[in-house]
Amino acid sequence: MTTTTTTPEEDTRAPSSEAYLARMPLEVLTRITYFVRTPDLGNARLTCRWLESALFHSFAYEFFRKKQFMLYGPSLQVLVDISKHPGLSPYLKHVIIGADQILEPHRIQPRHDDTKLLNWHLAYADQRTLLASGRARDMLVEAFKNLSNLETVDLRDFHSPSRTRDGDAGWTSYGFNTLSETTGVKHFTGQPRVGEEDYPTLLFTLITHALAAAKARPKGIEVVIRENWAVRDHGFLVPPYLEPDFLPVLAGLKKLHLVLDADLATHRDMEIQYLLFKKFLALTPNLTWLRVNFERSISHYGGKEALLKWLASSLRPGTWSSPGLINADPSRLPPPVEFDHLEQLDIGQLDVSANTLYRLFNKFSSTLKAISLRRVKIQQSSDQQTFDKDDAEQNPWIKFLRSLKKESFPHLRELSLSLLSAEVSSTTSGATLHYPVVGFVSPDEAENRKGTSATGYQNLVELARAIGARTYTGLKLETFLSNPAADIATPGKHITGVPLPGQSDDESDFDSSDDDDEGLSDDDGSAADD
C-alpha cells in the first residue's frame, strides 16, 4: 500500500458548509487559536483536515521556525526527523543546541526511586556515547544537510522564557521536560564545576564541524552563555586538512556572536592567547554583525585588551596598527581582519582603556550602524595629581562618547549602553577616581537639566534613580552624543588614595595637548603588552 503525504498547499478540499469555524476569515481563526493552550491547539488541528491545513502555517511558524535541542539521542533524532519532514523542514531556520549536560549519576542528589535513578544512568550513558562514538556529529550533519532554509545555529546554556502560550512555560530543549519527569532531575546546567568548563567548547566544535561536513551555509553562528563559562581558544581550530569544507561556511557568515574564555595555559604569552580565534575570525570577512563577550574573570594579564588592540589594528596605509604587528610572525600573530561590511559591533564584559575602545570603533566608523557596550569598564591612567569627582569632564566615558559624533560615524543609527563603569588612576599621586556605576538619568530629569553639564548623583542612596541601560536612536542619539554629560548619572563615585602634599593639579593625559589625530591620547596607560 502506498502512503502519500499531503501538504497544506495540496489540500484544497472545501469544508462542510455547516462548519462554523470554516466560515471565519483565516485571520480571525488564527487570532482565536493564538490564545489557546498548546494541547487545545493540537486538538483543534485534529478536528478535520481542512482546519489542520488552515492552521498549519501559523502552527509551524510558532513551533518549528526556531527550535532548541540537546545532546541526547531522542532529542537529536527529532531534529533529524523534522529535517526530513516535507512540510516542517522548510520552516526550521534557527537551530539551537542547548548545553544541557547530563552529569555522572553520583553527582546528583540521591534518588530514592530506583527507576528514576536507572533512567538517569541510561541518559548519562546515552550522552557520553553520542560524543565518544561520533554519532552526535553524524546526526547533526544529516539534519543540517536536509535543512535547506537554515539561517542560524546557536549554542546556549539556558531555556528561553519568551514563550507566551501556556502561561509561564518556557522554550526548553526538546526532550528536557520528559527527561526531567522520568529522572526526577530538574536542572542539568548551571555554574560549571572544575573539569566541566570545556563542555561549551566541545559543543561549539561539534556544531562548526557538522556545518562544514554538511556543506551548510547558515548566515549566523551564535554563542549565548549566561553562566560563567565560555568557548576556549582550542574550539576555534580549523585544521588545514578541513579548510576546503570550512572556508565556504565561514566566508558566508553575516553574523557571529561569541563568548570568549582566557586560556590559562597560554595567557602569559600575549601573542599566543586567542591565536586560533584570530585565525578563525580571519576566515569570516563578510560579517555585518560581530559580538564579542568575555567570560567573567579576575585575570589581570591584559589578554582581552591585547585582543581588542589586534582587532582595532589595520595594515592599510594611513591607519593605526598595534606596535610590532607589521613585522610579526603570522604563525603567532595573524594579520588583523578588516571587515569592510561590518554594520554592528557589540563588546561586553571586560576592562579596557578608552583609547583602545575608540580605535576599535573608529576602524569601522565608515560602515557601523549600531554599537553596543555592556559591562564594560574603562580603566584610564592620568598624570593629574588630584581629581574633582564633581567635574563630569573627568569621567572618561564622556570624551569617548563625544568621539562617536556624526562627522566621524556617518551611518551610526543606534547606540546601546548598559552596566558601564570607569576608573581613572593618577600615575604620580596614587589617587584613583572610581565610577562604580555609569548610568543614565530618567528622561524627566534629563529634560530638567536643559542641556547643562551634569555632575551626576552624589551618593549610593540615589542609585535607584540612575538607569543602568539605555538605547539611543535617531535624533535622540545625535543629541546625546553632542552632550553626553547631560544624560550620564554616576552614583557612588569616589576617590581613593592620598595625593602627595604641595602638588598642583595638572591636565589629565586623557585631555592632553598631544592627543593624536583620533581625538584620544596615544598613551592609554594600559597594562597590556602591545
- CA dist 207 and 47 (Å) reads 40
Strand-pairing partners, residue 350, are 376
Is a pLDDT exceeding 70 seen at residue 5?
no
Asked if residue 467 belongs to a domain, the reply is: yes
Task: Check: CB of residue 473 under 8 Å from CB of residue 413.
Answer: yes
Residue 381 belongs to a domain: yes
What's the distance, CA 494 to chain centroid?
Answer: 32
Residue 378 covered by a domain: yes
Task: Check: CB of residue 69 under 8 Å from CB of residue 96.
Answer: yes
Rounded-to-integer distance, Cα 420 and Cα 375, Å: 5
Angstrom distance (rounded) from CA 251 to CA 339: 11
CB atoms within 10 A of CB 329: 8
pLDDT classification of 445: cutoffs 50, 70, 90: low
Query: Which residue from 139, 147, 175, 174 is spatially nearest to 83, judged by alpha carbons?
Result: 147
Q: Which of 2-11, 134-143, 221-230, 452-461 has the lowest mean pLDDT?
A: 452-461
Is residue 477 in a domain? yes
Q: Please name the residue ranges forming H helices in 313-437.
A: 354-363, 396-402
Q: How far is CA 345 from CA 51, 190, 416, in A?
A: 45, 28, 11
191 CB-near residues (< 8 Å, 6+ apart): 227, 228
Count of structural domains, the chain = 1
Look up residue 101 and give its DSSP letter: -
Whether 13 is in a domain gets the answer no
Query: Which residue range forms the structural domain that includes residue 383?
Result: 373-446+462-499
| Cα separation, 241 vs 141, whole angstroms | 18
pLDDT in tens, 470-524: 999 999 999 999 999 999 999 889 999 854 444 444 433 333 333 333 344 333 3
Extract the C-alpha cell encoding 35.
490564545
pLDDT band at 458 (very low <50, low <70, confident <90, very high): very low
pLDDT in tens, 6-45: 454 444 455 555 567 777 888 888 888 888 888 888 888 8
Q: What is the pLDDT of residues 46-80, one digit of tens each?
A: 888 888 888 999 999 999 999 999 999 999 999 99
Residue among 339, 331, 321 at smallest CA distance from 282: 339
Please report whether residue 433 resides in a domain.
yes
**Which of 146-150, 261-265, 474-478 shows the lowest per-residue confidence on average (mean pLDDT)?**
261-265
Is 349 a domain residue? no
Return the pLDDT at 529. Answer: 37
pTM (two decimals): 0.85
Q: Is residue 100 part of a domain?
A: no
